Amino acid sequence: MAHGIAIGDGIVNVNKPAGWTSHDVVAKVRGLLKGPKVGHAGTLDPAATGVLPILVGRGTRIAEYLLEWDKEYRAVLRLGQTTDTQDATGTVLATRSLDGLAEEKIRAAIVPFRGRITQMPPMYSAVKVAGTPLYKSARAGKTVERDSRTVEIHELDVLGITGPDVTLRVRCSKGTYVRTLCADIGEVLGVGGHLLSLQRTRVGPLTVERALTLDEVGARVLTGRLADDVLLLDAALEMMPAVIVDGQTAERVRHGAAVPAGAGRWASAHHGAPAMVRVKDASGRLLAVGNMSAGPAGSDMVPGIAIDKVLVDVDTVSR
């Protein structure tokens, strides 16, 4: 039986190269580690580069929580050209002149896209309508009716303008299509536009400056140093408040049993009544993630917690 590389459970911050799918990166890392489960959180299009969180071991159990992390991108919008995919991989549908388009007008057009906006998911996307991904319908030459969605553009800044190309910094919520943002800005300006290039510079606490190339991941595996670059589960979930439980309750939690109201204590000060919490044992080890029920108004008592995901093995012995 092949033995995997022991690096712990968590997240490896990989700098995805252009031309690779997110699945390609997962397959490469899985081959390097030879054993543990490997997945990813937050798909990047093949042409895009930058931060791709690779989940290792029990890290694959927390993917759904990491999708709530905000994301930051460096995007280049090319004005004057519209494509069928809204990015540079597609066919150019129209080309329009930029004569008379002043920089001030471009900067002004971007302002309304800050904050809560609505987007129409592009036809070349994985969004499913009636069970069929939109990109499959698009490849068949069909345009499908679809619902718009509301997303949050937390920050949107112009970093530079060179000819038809506008470099943007975008910090946004999950579900945001940066190529649709570019296409929509182009339409507002009346000249059209598409996403020329995209680099994801941050996902939650993971930054591109600290991301490892696949060659670097391979080198660290060979020298046994990859564990130093793994973001452990507890750190990855620190946006959730933590509740400490005693040994008897911890044993039940490891089997998926709920934490009764009053059986836990807050690990630190918190605000309001969080929906999701980390559950830890007395030594501070992460046991599970749970859904917290509503507690009595004004009470410091920890309400009951229904366990959503157990993050330790059932046979783990509390130490």
Q: Say whether both 57 and 155 belong to one domain.
A: no
What would the pLDDT profile of 24-36 be if each residue is shown by its tens digit?
Answer: 999 999 999 998 8
Q: Is residue 190 part of a domain?
A: yes
Is the model more confident about 222 or about 7?
222
Q: Which of 214, 234, 254 is the last residue of a domain?
A: 234
At 30, which CATH number? 3.30.2350.10
> How many secondary structure helices (H) and strands (E) does the chain include?
8, 19
Whether the pLDDT of residue 270 is over 80: the answer is no
Q: Say whether both 64 and 210 belong to one domain.
A: yes
| Active site (catalytic) residues | 45
Range of the domain at 106: 71-203
At 265, which CATH number? 2.30.130.10
pLDDT band at 318 (very low <50, low <70, confident <90, very high): very low
Return the beta strands (E) in the chain as ranges: 10-16, 38-40, 49-56, 71-79, 81-83, 92-95, 115-119, 128-129, 132-133, 149-162, 165-172, 193-203, 206-207, 230-232, 242-245, 264-266, 276-280, 286-292, 305-310
Contact between residue 29 and residue 79 where contact means Cβ atoms under 8 Å apart: no
